[in-house]
Amino acid sequence: MIFLWAFIVGGIICVCGQLLMDGLKLTPAHTMATLVVVGAILDGIGVYERLIDFAGAGATVPITSFGNQLVHGALAEADRTGLIGVVTGIFQITSAGISAAIIFSFLAALVFRPKG
C-alpha cells in the first residue's frame, strides 16, 4: 500500500513542479528553489512529517524533502542547544545527500568525458 501512496504523492509533487514550470513559466532553477522553500515551510508548521509517515519515499525523494530535512535538523538542534543550534544543526540530516552528490559528481567528472 505504501508503494501506491509513494507513487501518487511523489507524482503529485512532480506535477506541482511541472505546473510551476509550464503555468508560471519559471525556469527549472526557480522551480526547485520554490519547492525547497515550500518543503521547509511545510515542515516548519509540522505537516511534512505526517506526509512522510503516510507516503514514505513519495515524500522523502522529491526535492521538497531537502527543505524539510534542513528545517528538521535546525529545529532538533535548537531544542538541545538553543539559538546557536539553528546554525549548527541545519546540515545535520541533509549531510548524506549533499556529501553523496558532491563526492559522486566529482568521481563522475574524473571518469566520464563531456559530450559534444
Q: Contact, 64 vs 42, CB < 8 A? A: yes
CB of 30 to other proteins, least distance (A): 8
Indicate which single residue of 24, 47, 50, 71 sits in contact with other proteins (rule: CB under 8 A). 71
Amino acid of residue 35: L
- Compute the distance between CA of residue 44 and CA of residue 67 in angstroms, rounded to an integer: 10
- State yes or no: residue 51 binds other proteins (CB under 8 A): no
Rounded to whole angstroms, how far apart are CA atoms 28 and 33? 9
Nearest approach in angstroms of CB 50 to other proteins is: 14
Size of the site for other proteins (CB under 8 A): 83
24 touches other proteins by CB under 8 A? no
Among 24, 47, 50, 87, binds other proteins (CB under 8 A): 87
Q: Is there binding between residue 98 and other proteins (CB under 8 A)?
A: yes
Place of cell 501506491: 4
Residue 1 engages other proteins in binding (rule: CB under 8 A): no
Rule CB under 8 A: say whether 85 interacts with other proteins.
yes
CB count within 10 Å of CB 34 equals 17
Q: Are 34 and 18 in contact (CB under 8 A)?
A: no
In the complex with other proteins, which residue's Cβ is closer, 50 or 98? Answer: 98
